[in-house]
Amino acid sequence: MKITDARVVVSCPGRNYVTLVIETEDGVTGVGDATLNGRELAVASYLEDHLCPLLKGRDARRIEDTWQYLYKGAYWRRGPVTMTAIAAVDVALWDIKGKVAGMPVYQLLGGAAREGVMVYGHASGDTLDELSSDFQAHLDQGYKAVRIQASVPGLDHTYGIAPSDGSVYEPAGGSRPQEDRWETTAYIDFAPEMFARIRKEFGYGVHVLHDLHHRLTPIEAGRIGRALEPYRPFWIEDPTPAEDQSAFRLIRQHTTTPIAVGEVFNSIWDCQQLITERLIDYIRASVSHAGGITHLRRIFSLADLYGVRSGSHGAGDLSPASFAAALHVDLSIPNLGIQEYMGHRSPAEEVFTSSYSVEDGHAHPGDAPGIGVEFDEEAAARFPYEPRYLPINRRLDGTVHDW
């Protein structure tokens, strides 16, 4: 089954998405998400200029061989651009394999290991009162797990606060990056106050998550982890910059609060130490930034050996094709922890038609053959790419800090 065409579509139906479409000589089409938020065109070029010419004429059935060919064959391995491009190819080939087999991809991965995939939503607010009412709104929608973020008094533009009009959070924008402010001293007493408020009001029958977005030092993270222990967070996410794996050893020495990291990871090598030394509890690598279904399953298999569970990134910067692919993996692995779910800004639904569903706090990929997402190229053409940057972050004295 030869690949006859591989093309890249960059569009902005509410948010920039890079979509790879692969066609076979039998007329079967597969789609994969190649979106790298804020650096979209780099992946588009990597695919168009380097990978698509190699795909034409290859056998679409040979997923593992294609993965190795693109990974080892590049010589210059890993990195977000390379691995996002390989991921898009991998997911599109799994999509084709599922369509040819007449099965949803999760059946090809061993079948459902559970009835549904627990997802977490995102409650936020400029004040704790606003956070509280948003938290209640998520419970009303059936969520069993909710991430909480609130504006830190004294800091402008705190990370993770959704717009008050109810639309999906989108931090990227503008032809230059927005500049946020951060100071750990302003945050460190506020976070326990925020958790105390939510637990007092809603009790302990719901999972509560929190994202520190790479901003603390290891000892600050240890301190915040310990301070939050009475409120039993499901996890604290990205407590310190993720590339410093040994930092997590220090955090571990000071707290039993579960730790999640990995949305910026691209390969099993980025988390090998974290997993094998049991320095984390949840690995958040995503299907579209960590080499696709083939490689993400390898990461989760390693994690399972060490009691580490999955918790894949699933923000709105990943297209519905990526979220669907994640659900096929989530449903079939033994060590699912949780899946992030943010939904997508309108008019994404005009471009992507999905078979997955989210109900009562759980998601299911549906039973359409392949990954279950159809991509409408004509609709995508109505929403041209818009250059957008993720924000940068500065401390109050002007020093550039992790965003």
The residues that touch Mg ion, with contacts defined as CB under 5 A, are 211
Catalytic residue, from 207, 210, 213, 344: name it: 213
Q: Shortest Cβ contact with Mg ion: which residue?
A: 211
**Contacting residues for 129 by C-beta, under 8 A, at least 6 apart:** none
Which tokens belong to 290?
């960590």
Q: In terms of Cα–Cα distance, which of 111, 112, 108 is closest to 96?
A: 108
- For 44, 294, 326, the CA distances from 91, given in Å and listed in that order, are 16, 8, 10
Q: How far is the CB of 50 from Mg ion (least distance, A)?
A: 29
Residue 391's CB is within 10 A of a number of other CB atoms, namely: 17
Contact yes or no for 372/365 (Cβ under 8 A): yes
282 torsion bin: left (phi>0), alpha (psi -120 to 50), beta (else): beta
Q: Which is nearer to Mg ion, 58 or 214 (CB)?
A: 214
Contact yes or no for 352/377 (Cβ under 8 A): no
CA distance 318 to 315: 6
Q: How far is the CB of 340 from Mg ion (least distance, A)?
A: 8
Q: How far is the CB of 213 from Mg ion (least distance, A)?
A: 6
Q: Which is nearer to Mg ion, 38 or 366 (CB)?
A: 38
Contact yes or no for 278/304 (Cβ under 8 A): no
Strands 235-237 and 259-261: parallel
Q: Which is nearer to Mg ion, 23 or 211 (CB)?
A: 211
Residue 51 three-state SS? helix
Q: How far is the CB of 390 from Mg ion (least distance, A)?
A: 12
Catalytic residue, from 159, 169, 187, 282: name it: 159
Residue 112's CB is within 10 A of a number of other CB atoms, namely: 16
**Contacting residues for 241 by C-beta, under 8 A, at least 6 apart:** 214, 247, 402
Q: Which is nearer to Mg ion, 93 or 338 (CB)?
A: 338
Q: Which is nearer to Mg ion, 106 or 234 (CB)?
A: 234
Residue 156's CB is within 10 A of a number of other CB atoms, namely: 12
Q: Which is nearer to Mg ion, 261 or 368 (CB)?
A: 261
DSSP 85-131: HHHHHHHHHHHHHHHHHTSBHHHHTT--SSS-EEEEEEEEESSHHHH
Q: How far is the CB of 212 from Mg ion (least distance, A)?
A: 9
Q: How far is the CB of 203 from Mg ion (least distance, A)?
A: 25
Query: What are the percentages of helix, strand and coil residues in the chain, rounded to 5?
Result: 35, 20, 45
Active site residue 159: yes
Four-residue CA torsion sign, 360, 366, 371, 373: negative
Q: Which is nearer to Mg ion, 211 or 330 (CB)?
A: 211
Active site residue 213: yes
Q: In terms of Cα–Cα distance, which of 95, 143, 137, 98 is closest to 119?
A: 143
Q: How far is the CB of 237 from Mg ion (least distance, A)?
A: 5
Q: Which is nearer to Mg ion, 20 or 285 (CB)?
A: 285
Q: How far is the CB of 143 from Mg ion (least distance, A)?
A: 17
Which residues form the catalytic set? 159, 213
